Amino acid sequence: MEDIKISTAQFEHKSGDKEYNLSVIEKLAEKAAGEGARAIAFHECSVTGYTFARKLSKEQMLGLAEFIPEGETVQKLTEISGGLGISILAGLFEKDREDNLYKAYVCVDKTGLVAKFRKLHPFINPHLVPGNEYCVFELHGWKCGILICYDNNIIENVRATALLGADIIFMPHVTMCTPSTRPGAGFVDTELWKNRETDPTSLRLEFDGMKGRDWLMKWLPSRAYDNGIYVVFSNPIGMDDDQLKNGCSMIIDPFGDIIAECRSFEDSFTTANIVPLKLKQAGGYRYRKARRPELYKHIIGQANQPEQKVVWLNPG
């Protein structure tokens, strides 16, 4: 493997407006390619929009969703990728020939679809069906994986993807700034977004506090550190339907250190140089080698215990 530059982006998508969202994806991909990035990652449902889908019927979802790879989005992303010479990772809703609906995330290059992943734990619409497979693929000589938003909160998913060989895991999200049982969680007042130019400090305090980045720092770097992998985290900035999202798209190295992060309120991206050397230097590499699966393989694989149904406000 050789060093590779990868970008992660954030932008304020428009709900249901694929043409607009793809235009922003193309604009940011062009800039990232100009800086030498070989790949750029966008957030969950970056092509379609996300939170507005909670209100959609199955018929409306089927109208929004696409077949993959023959749908218009993969074709457009392939065109963009070929023109710019950069691989693109983006999210959308997928349908199959039996009218099943999935939350999908794709990697596309000039040849077409490189990889597709279906979210294992979808929530935003009751008609979505969970995916049942992990995804590991090769991208410019690197082994990569994909896990979407809430999939990453179940630590077994990240470990399984790493054990399948992924050195880089793309983690597209739509998260933070929503109510939860955890202390400090909650919505961020949308008026702060409207006033972001005249009062950026108040908005940044909310975005960086326990409603946003401080919560992310409780767990995201540990996924990279424990598994000895690079994490490419992507998240939208600005209004997502009637909710406000705080961006913080970032790249974390196998030591759990943030090596690049978007800190703007604008549509933007950040780029990091990914180097193979860190993979074996990091503690996570040694920890995986030191595992004793004979002690816990039956424990890890046991069925979940029944519990009371949890009503999720917006788990991501």
- Band of residue 17 on the pLDDT scale cut at 50, 70, 90: very high
Cβ atoms of 125 and 101 within 8 Å: the answer is yes
The reply to whether 311 falls in a domain is: no
Average pLDDT over residues 5-12: 98
The reply to whether 315 falls in a domain is: no
Q: pLDDT above 70 covers what percent of the chain?
A: 97
Helix (H) or strand (E) holding 284: helix 283-289
Tens of pLDDT, residue by residue over 88-104, are: 999 999 999 999 999 99
pLDDT at 315: 47
- pLDDT of residue 122 exceeding 60, the answer is yes
The reply to whether 59 falls in a domain is: yes
pLDDT at 306: 64
* CA separation for the pair 113, 106 (Å, rounded): 7
Average pLDDT over residues 235-262: 98
Q: Which domain holds residue 73?
A: 4-300
The residue written with tokens 């993979």 in the block is: 279
Average pLDDT over residues 213-231: 98
- Four-residue CA torsion sign, 295, 298, 299, 300: positive
Return the CATH number at 10.
3.60.110.10
Cα–Cα–Cα angle for 5, 90, 10, nearest 5°? 70
- Band of residue 167 on the pLDDT scale cut at 50, 70, 90: very high
Within 181-282, where are the H helices?
190-194, 200-208, 213-216, 220-227, 277-281
Structure tokens, 207: 């975005």
- pLDDT of residue 310 exceeding 60, the answer is no
pLDDT at 173: 98
The reply to whether 147 falls in a domain is: yes
Tens of pLDDT, residue by residue over 70-91, are: 999 999 999 999 999 999 999 9
Tens of pLDDT, residue by residue over 265-294, are: 999 999 999 999 999 999 999 999 999 999
**Beta strands of the chain (E only): which ranges?**
4-10, 39-41, 87-95, 101-109, 112-118, 136-139, 142-146, 168-172, 230-234, 237-240, 243-246, 250-252, 258-261, 268-274
pLDDT at 304: 83
Residue 311 vs residue 143, higher pLDDT: 143
Structure tokens, 247: 């961006």
What is the number of domains present in the chain? 1
Average pLDDT over residues 180-185: 95
* CA separation for the pair 232, 6 (Å, rounded): 8
The reply to whether 305 falls in a domain is: no
Q: Give which of 261, 213, 255, 262 is closest to 230, Cα–Cα.
A: 255
The reply to whether 35 falls in a domain is: yes
The reply to whether 283 falls in a domain is: yes
Which residues on adjacent β-strands are paired with residue 41? 8, 89
Single-letter amino acid, residue 244: L
- pLDDT of residue 135 exceeding 50, the answer is yes
- Band of residue 305 on the pLDDT scale cut at 50, 70, 90: confident
The reply to whether 313 falls in a domain is: no
Tens of pLDDT, residue by residue over 19-51, are: 999 999 999 999 999 999 999 999 999 999 999
Burial 22-51 (b: 16+ CB within 10 A, else e): bebbbebbebbbeeebbbbbbbbbbbbbbb
Helix (H) or strand (E) holding 25: helix 18-34
- Band of residue 120 on the pLDDT scale cut at 50, 70, 90: very high
